[in-house]
Amino acid sequence: MEAPRIKGLPPVPPVIKPIRPRDFRCECVCLEVQKILDARKQKECQVFTRLESFGIVPRTLPLIDINQNPIAVVDWLPQDDIVCRRAIFKENHKGQIFVIEKPPQEFTVEPLGGKPPAARITVTVTPGKNPDPIPNLLIQCRVKETVLAELENRTPGRTPTTGFIEVCPVRFIKRPVLFFPDQEQVGQVSVKTESSWEILDCATEITLNVLRVNVTVGAFIIVKTWADVQLVTTAMGECDWELIPPPFPEDPCDAFKARPFPPFNPPQLEDFFIPDPEKGSG
């Protein structure tokens, strides 16, 4: 009895019956793939803080709008009721973000040798990968490592009632020791990071003349070493995916839908040595 076939998966050879050339053909193929050599994963959670003093003349805070444009008039005072409504990542303006960097923008490799050979990977993981320049006097926060905290002033008569303030740098520095066979010349093996970020909380506190904005951020981080390698695997023909019929079929398409799906791949070398069962080998 053949094993039941899962809908949507390519056909597999029968468990007991022999493989027939016209039904299934098993062959060895060489594929070039990105192989993961080693990996480490870790959970991180930290409170990132922004301290900002209220201006004296005039009293103001460096608030911006959602598009990062400065808000010119801010008449907020230290005794006001200022709360944090929400916080979002500057990269995508959402409270969650998934980031893949291959390779990361900031990482170093320190070969350690040994058997098996290993290396210490120092990598900076951020909730974004926007390649903006290093901060200077005009650019205080890079996009890829910044959280925007939306503040609300609940004191009547204040202008504006809401505004954003940047909290940065939001990042984690990881230093795992991973399998790294490329000890002589770093180049064949590379580094990859995958991270899932989430903003967990946002709060404010005013002490004397200083506003304190606390943003709690959690992250699931995986650091990997990988390389392009050639692997031999077994193939059993082309993938046989299920056809999805159109939602509103029309008569002119009936003949087209009745035609068999044509092969998309060129013939393989073995195809020329397999006799046609209808004509026979004689």
Reported as a single tens digit per residue, the pLDDT across 168-192 is: 999 999 999 999 887 665 568 889 9
d(CA 277, CA 265): 22
Q: Which comes out higher in pLDDT, residue 236 or 70? A: 70
Q: How far, CA to CA in Å, does 164 sit from each of 68, 203, 218, 220?
A: 8, 13, 21, 26
Highest mean pLDDT among 159-163, 199-203, 274-278: 199-203
Residues in the chain: 282
Q: What percent of the chain has pLDDT over 70?
A: 73
Confidence at residue 139, expressed as pLDDT on a 0 to 100 scale = 52
d(CA 178, CA 174): 12
Which secondary structure element, helix H or strand E, spans residue 258, and what is its range? helix 254-258
d(CA 254, CA 276): 31
Calculate ∠ Cα 222-171-148, nearest 5°. Answer: 125
Q: What percent of the chain has pLDDT over 90?
A: 38
* Span of 24-38, 126-140, 183-197 with lowest mean pLDDT: 126-140
Confidence bin at 137 (pLDDT 50/70/90): very low
What does residue 114 show for φ and ψ, rounded to 5 degrees?
90, 180
